[in-house]
Structure formats: structure tokens, C-alpha cells
């Protein structure tokens, strides 16, 4: 199984811009770079809208290329509508390059002049083609690549998200293998540094984080004319990542399939540690207290019961009272549990062994009723989590949404040990 074992994502305003209109997302298996354009910070808004379209992962159904393109079209529609409804945003747009790492291959959706590269065995290969004026001239044989690199109009793009109600999206799928390195970047990098130098930096740096920082530093030293964004991730073959029998409490983001199996009811979750979790733990406690204090309802006997049938009525009174009490208890516990589960999260793995965030409580009620649901699937296999940290993650601890997402984000960036 191929996974992104080491990931780094960095962005810099550059030397000649006041604001950073680039946005990025590095949430394995999805990686996205967007370079916004437009005055009055409209470019920043456009690129952020584009990235937000990918935050919940890809839609279900279809190939990876089709799913990526669906998100791009959704982003284009929203950017276009905002630019029409808000005068100060008129004409805004953004480039976008998105990658999805699957098993043995990587799918890409691309609009504009941000780029995707594959670094393998010391060679850097560009996977995307710029939608720009100079690229069109190169295709027609009017310019060489060397001339295009120095052309004064090289920043003019011919395709972007936002300016039009629909957009044409380039998609492709490329095979990947163990130890490949993937680079996504805005043109603030490639307009400042030659591809040969980019390859040298990636190949010689000790870590991907060091490589990303060095690339940004060299782009700034070369003039830093634009915002600079760099995402790097290493592809790793993970052997023996067999899915567990049931969800392992260590979790991450919304997976495509619900967690298989149930957490044993005899394994109570650890007490909540975040303030929001504590507040909703109180909700559950109040519900349980209501059950305890309600007690079984009593049936008031008539002062002078009829002679016939009185014994039969008394015989059914206690079972009926117990049944009503049980129904009330289940309703109150269920209501309290549902309210609490809306605000509590825990981390585990899904049926494929991928770190996943679940919303709710790690319990199953009778009749197969679950008190949890999938919230986010990260794409990080539990097998790549450092062995000395798994105990901390596998403690069934309830967390706030912010805490759970923060933990998973650290996992996705490969920085858990820091």
C-alpha cells in the first residue's frame, strides 16, 4: 500500500507582494495548491474558496480524476457567484492544482499555472502543463522553453477558476512508486528558480521540510516577485498494513466507508479532556441523573377496587410499570447521548486501517445502534504511526473537534514525533 509518509507544506509572501494570496491544503491523500488573483484581497478569497472545496475530501462515486474534477467545478461555481454578488470581488479568480494519492498511482486536476512535479531517481518531471499565454506560444513553436522562462508576459494565464461560470479542467493519472517525491507549487517558485535547481535542492536536502524552506529562500533571493507556496510529500510502500477487525480508537477524517465493527461496551472511554467535551459530558450526566431520579411510575389503586378482576390488574401492574420505566430510561439516555455525541470526537482507524476521526461516543447500543459516526478520514495508515506513540493515540480519549483535527493534521504532516 502506498502512502504519503513524509509531508511538508510552506507558503511565503515573497519580497514584492504585501499580501499572500496563495492557499494550500496538505491532508493526505489530497494535496492542493491555489494561487489567487484579483484586487482588494479578492485573490485571497478566491484561493481560499477553492481550497475549502477540498477540505472534506473527495465525493464518492467515479474515478479519482472525476472526483477531483467535481470539486474543482464546485469551487469554480462558488467563486463565480461570489464575484458576481460582491462588487469588490468582481473578476477574482485562482489557479488550482490538486493531487490525490491512490494505491500505485496519483491523479491530478489542474487549472492555471501552478504545477505538479514528480521527483524520481534524481530526475524532476513536470506532470502538468501551464494554461498560460507563453505555454500556448511554446506549443505552437513560437517560443522555446528558455524564451518562455524569460518572457515578460509569462504571468498571463489563459484559464482560471472564477472568471467564467464553467471551467475546463485538465485531469491525468500517473503511476507512482516507493520513494517518489511529489512537488506541488505556485508559480512564485518556478518563475524564480529553474527546474534543474529545484531538482538539485530536493535531491540534496536532508528532509522535505528543509527542501521546502530552501526552495522558498532561494526564490526570495532571486527576487521573490510573487507569493511562494511549496507542498512536498514522499511516497512510501507500507507492507503488512492489514485492516483491524473493528475500529481502533486513534482516528481521523471522513472516510468513504463507515467504521466496521463495534467498540466493546465493556471498554469505557477516557474522560473528556477539552473544555467543550467536559460541557457535553455534563449533558450526558444530567440525562443519566434524570433516569435515576424518575423511578418507575406507580399506578394509583382505586380506594374500592371492584371485586372481580382486581387480582388480575395487580398481577400486570408491576410488569407494565417496569416496561414504561425502561422506555423512559432508554429515551432519556439516548437523547442525552445523541446531544453529547454531536460535540465529542475520538480518533481511531476504519476498516481499511486508515486513521479516522469519529464523532460521538465509542459505544454501540443494542440492536446495532451506534453512538458514533465517521467525521473525517485522513489517508494515514495506522501502520506508519511511530510505535512509541501508538499507546497515546489508542487510549479511547474523547476530544473536542479542534483537538482531534489538530492531532490528525500533525499525523498528516509527518510531524507526530516532534
Last residue of a domain, one of 208, 237, 266: 237
Question: Residues 142, 72: one domain?
Answer: yes
Which residue in this structure is represented by grid cell 499565454?
A: 133
In this structure, are residues 338 and 361 in contact, taking their beta carbons and an 8 Å threshold?
Answer: no
Q: Which three cell numbers mark 65?
A: 480524476
Question: Residues 231, 279: one domain?
Answer: no
Sign of CA dihedral 56, 57, 63, 68: positive
The rounded distance, in Å, linking the Cα atoms of 141 and 315 is 97
β-partners of residue 183 are 117, 232
Question: Residues 289, 228: one domain?
Answer: no
Which residue in this structure is represented by grid cell 433516569?
A: 291
Residue 332 in domain:
yes
Residue 197 in domain:
yes
Question: Residues 11, 147: one domain?
Answer: yes
Residue 138 in domain:
yes
Question: Residues 118, 198: one domain?
Answer: yes
What is the span of the domain harbouring residue 17? 2-237
Question: Residues 60, 205: one domain?
Answer: yes
For 20, how many CA atoms within 13 A lie in the half-sphere containing its CB?
Answer: 16
Sign of CA dihedral 259, 262, 267, 272: positive
Q: Which three cell numbers mark 191?
A: 518563475
Output the domain CATH number for residue 172: 3.60.40.10
| pLDDT by residue, tens only, the chain of 418 residues | 899 989 999 999 999 999 999 999 999 999 999 999 876 568 999 999 999 999 989 999 999 999 999 999 999 999 999 999 988 888 899 999 999 999 899 999 999 999 999 999 999 999 999 998 888 887 777 777 777 776 766 668 899 999 999 999 999 999 999 999 999 999 999 999 999 999 999 999 999 999 999 999 999 999 999 999 999 999 999 875 443 333 433 333 333 333 333 333 333 333 333 333 333 333 333 333 333 333 333 333 333 444 445 555 455 555 565 565 556 555 545 555 555 555 788 888 777 667 788 888 887 777 667 778 888 776 666 766 776 666 666 566 788 888 887 777 676 666 664 4
The rounded distance, in Å, linking the Cα atoms of 38 and 259 is 43
Q: Model-level pTM? A: 0.63
Our count of domains for the chain comes to: 2
Amino acid at each position: 500500500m502506498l502512502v504519503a509518509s513524509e509531508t511538508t507544506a510552506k507558503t511565503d509572501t515573497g519580497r514584492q507582494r504585501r499580501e499572500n494570496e496563495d492557499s494550500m491544503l496538505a491532508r493526505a491523500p489530497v494535496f492542493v495548491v491555489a494561487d489567487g488573483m484579483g484586487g482588494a484581497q479578492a485573490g485571497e478569497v478566491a484561493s481560499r474558496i477553492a481550497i475549502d472545496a477540498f477540505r472534506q475530501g473527495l465525493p464518492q462515486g467515479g474515478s479519482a480524476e472525476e472526483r477531483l474534477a467535481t470539486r474543482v467545478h464546485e469551487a469554480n461555481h462558488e467563486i463565480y457567484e461570489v464575484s458576481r454578488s460582491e462588487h469588490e470581488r468582481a473578476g477574482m479568480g485562482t489557479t488550482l492544482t490538486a493531487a490525490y494519492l491512490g494505491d500505485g498511482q496519483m491523479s491530478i486536476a489542474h487549472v492555471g499555472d501552478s504545477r505538479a512535479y514528480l521527483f524520481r531517481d534524481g530526475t524532476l518531471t513536470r506532470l502538468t502543463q501551464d494554461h498560460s499565454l507563453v505555454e500556448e506560444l511554446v506549443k505552437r513553436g513560437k517560443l522555446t522553453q528558455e524564451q518562455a522562462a524569460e518572457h515578460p508576459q509569462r504571468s498571463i494565464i489563459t484559464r482560471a477558476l472564477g472568471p467564467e461560470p464553467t471551467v475546463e479542467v485538465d485531469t491525468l493519472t500517473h503511476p507512482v512508486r516507493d520513494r517518489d517525491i511529489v512537488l506541488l507549487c505556485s508559480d512564485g517558485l518556478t518563475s524564480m528558480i529553474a527546474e534543474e535547481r529545484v531538482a538539485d535542492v530536493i535531491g540534496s536536502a536532508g528532509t522535505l521540510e528543509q527542501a521546502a524552506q530552501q526552495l522558498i529562500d532561494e526564490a526570495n533571493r532571486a527576487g521573490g516577485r510573487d507569493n511562494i507556496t511549496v507542498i512536498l510529500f514522499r511516497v512510501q510502500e507500507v507492507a503488512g498494513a492489514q485492516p483491524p477487525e473493528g475500529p481502533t480508537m486513534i482516528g481521523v477524517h471522513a472516510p468513504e466507508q463507515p467504521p466496521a465493527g463495534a467498540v466493546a461496551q465493556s471498554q469505557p472511554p477516557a474522560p473528556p479532556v477539552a473544555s467543550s467535551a467536559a460541557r457535553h459530558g455534563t449533558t450526558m450526566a444530567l440525562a443519566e441523573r434524570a433516569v435515576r431520579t424518575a423511578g418507575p411510575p406507580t399506578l394509583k389503586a382505586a380506594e374500592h377496587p371492584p371485586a372481580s378482576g382486581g387480582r388480575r390488574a395487580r398481577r400486570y401492574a408491576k410488569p407494565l410499570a417496569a416496561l414504561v420505566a425502561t422506555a423512559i430510561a432508554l429515551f432519556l439516555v439516548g437523547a442525552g447521548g445523541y446531544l453529547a455525541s454531536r460535540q465529542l470526537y475520538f480518533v481511531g482507524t476504519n476498516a481499511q486501517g486508515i486513521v479516522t476521526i469519529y464523532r460521538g461516543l465509542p459505544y454501540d447500543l443494542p440492536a446495532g445502534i451506534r453512538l458514533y459516526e465517521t467525521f473525517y478520514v485522513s489517508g494515514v495508515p495506522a501502520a506508519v504511526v511511530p510505535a512509541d506513540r501508538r499507546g497515546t493515540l489508542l487510549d479511547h480519549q474523547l476530544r473536542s473537534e479542534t483537538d482531534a483535527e489538530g492531532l490528525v493534521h500533525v499525523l498528516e504532516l509527518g510531524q507526530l514525533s516532534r
